[in-house]
């Protein structure tokens, strides 16, 4: 199972919006609404940001939103803040009954 494809890096200025893509296949992202997004700061454990494509865990800022079209899921961060600078990973359930993560995207706040 190959990793889902994400851009290596995305950057934006404070207050701007950025979008991270996550491209899979019809065996994973395209076939299931089981896409999750995780934020990871250096040296820290990942944190769940979005589940089931577009749902936010309780208490999470509404600046984070998710969507999906075909085999590509997306995470949008609006009103970019300094603390959003981190690595972001998507994940999907697959038709092989296993999970796959994306390649990861480093978000830089300029």
Binding of another protein by 42 (CB under 8 A):
no
Distance CA 28, CA 99 (A): 9
Binding of another protein by 38 (CB under 8 A):
yes
What minimum distance in Å lies between the beta carbon of 91 and another protein?
Answer: 7
Sign of CA dihedral 96, 99, 104, 107: positive
Residues counted in the chain: 110
Q: Which residues bind another protein (CB under 8 A)?
A: 1, 3, 32-34, 36, 38, 40, 45-48, 51-52, 55, 57, 87, 89, 91, 93, 97-104
């Amino acid at each position: 199972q190959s990793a889902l494809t994400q851009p290596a890096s995305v950057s934006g200025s404070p207050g701007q919006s950025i979008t991270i893509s996550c491209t899979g296949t019809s065996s994973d992202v395209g076939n299931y609404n089981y896409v999750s997004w995780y934020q990871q700061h250096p040296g820290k454990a990942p944190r769940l940001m979005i589940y089931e494509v577009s749902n936010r865990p309780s208490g999470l800022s509404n600046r984070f939103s998710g969507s999906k079209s075909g085999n590509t899921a997306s995470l949008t961060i609006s009103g970019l803040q300094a603390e959003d600078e981190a690595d972001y990973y998507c994940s999907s359930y697959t038709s092989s009954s296993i999970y796959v993560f994306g390649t990861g995207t480093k978000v830089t706040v300029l």
